[in-house]
Homo-oligomer: A and B are copies of this chain.
Amino acid sequence: MTASSRPDHRRLRRSAGDRRAQLVQIGLELLPTTPVQELTIDEVARRAGISRSLLFHYFATKREYYTAVTRAAADLLMTHILPEPETPSGEQVTGMLDRYVGWVETFRESHLAFVRGAGGGDPWVSDVYEETRGRLVDVALTALELPDDALRRQLVLAWFAFTEDLVAQWVLEPAMSRPELLELLRDVLDRLVTR
């Protein structure tokens, strides 16, 4: 460093936990504009005001980093959607559906980005996504008070795909009313699951 000017000292030392959280947070903020796997270490480090090297101190590989970001996004969704334990089980699914649609309405782009990135390409990211879907099936099946056999799991999972796709289209171009959408989804699920 040059003699006469002391270097940039706005960079504070943070605790390990804080830094990790900050980095993941930055990843979440970039999600809507960039597919997870295309986040560049450079960009994230720049936004955090740190060097590339430091990011690699917290996340051994780039993949480890964006997997963490993906998991964080999934957790946000899950905690928002999960049923309140007091609700009678018959209405839990309806509530979850309602909250899911609300979530997509609120975070349009970032949610669509999440879903796209999740299905696509990288197996590590897909794993996080599949894991989340699996957890949701568990919740749904117990809320519906139905046994958890292979066939029903597949049907509910496929219904998720249906729901995701339809809701994604619906927020972009609402071809029916919100209650109609919810009723339709609920109806399809019921028919599928009570065969």
Where the two chains meet, the residues of A that have a C-beta atom closer than 8 Å to any C-beta of B are 35-38, 115-122, 126, 149-151, 154-155, 157-166, 169-170, 173, 175-176, 188, 191-192
Contact = CB atoms under 8 A, between A and B. Distances in A.
A173 B151 CA distance: 9
Given A121-B35, A188-B188, A158 B165 contact: yes
A169 B38 CA distance: 28
Please report whether the interface of chain A is mostly helix, strand, loop or mixed according to DSSP: helix
A116 B175 CA distance: 27
A1 to B, nearest CB: 39
Contact of A162 (B122, B126, B161): B161
A7 to B, nearest CB: 38
B161 A176 contact: no
Contacts of A158: 162-163, 165-166, 169
A72 to B, nearest CB: 18
Contact of A120 (B120, B149, B160, B162): B120
A35 B119 CA distance: 12
Contacts of A157: 165-166, 169
Given A150-B175, A161-B161, A122 B169 contact: no
Contacts of A126: 116
A105 to B, nearest CB: 16
A126 B170 CA distance: 18
A134 to B, nearest CB: 12
7 contacts: A35-B121, A151-B176, A154-B166, A157-B166, A158-B163, A158-B166, A158-B169
Contacts of A115: 119
A184 B150 CA distance: 16
9 closest A-B pairs by beta carbon, nearest first, are A120-B120, A161-B165, A119-B119, A158-B166, A35-B121, A162-B162, A151-B175, A158-B165, A150-B175
B155 A166 contact: yes
